[in-house]
Amino acid sequence: MFLRNGLEPWHLLIVGVVLILLFGSKKLPDTARALGKSLRILKSETKAMREESEGPVPAAAPAPQVAPAPVAPADAPPRTTA
């Protein structure tokens, strides 16, 4: 009972053999190294974002109230300036 979906250890062996045949044994270590580096970068960025969001939130000044710009009706002809 390896996984609940019926995946057995020999399935992983077949996937490994297919990967070696497709990509060659020389490219696999480089690919794995690049994947590991990408995952480390992703982990450090998510950790930084989590620490940023958990930090104290400064009291923000209320935003100034700005009146919305007038919108011309859809059926009105475009206004031209002379």
Domains of the chain, by residue range, sit at 24-53
The pLDDT of residue 19 is above 80: yes
Higher pLDDT, 4 or 3: 4
The pLDDT score that the predictor gives to residue 21 is: 85
The sign of the torsion formed by the CA atoms of 49, 53, 54, 56 equals: positive
What does the alpha-carbon distance between residue 19 and residue 25 come to, in Å, rounded to a whole number? 9
pTM: predicted TM-score of the whole model, two decimal places:
0.42
Is residue 79 classed exposed, middle or buried when 0-12, 13-18 and 19+ CB atoms within 10 A define those classes?
exposed
* C-alpha to C-alpha distance for 56 and 53, rounded to whole angstroms: 8
pLDDT of 1: 46
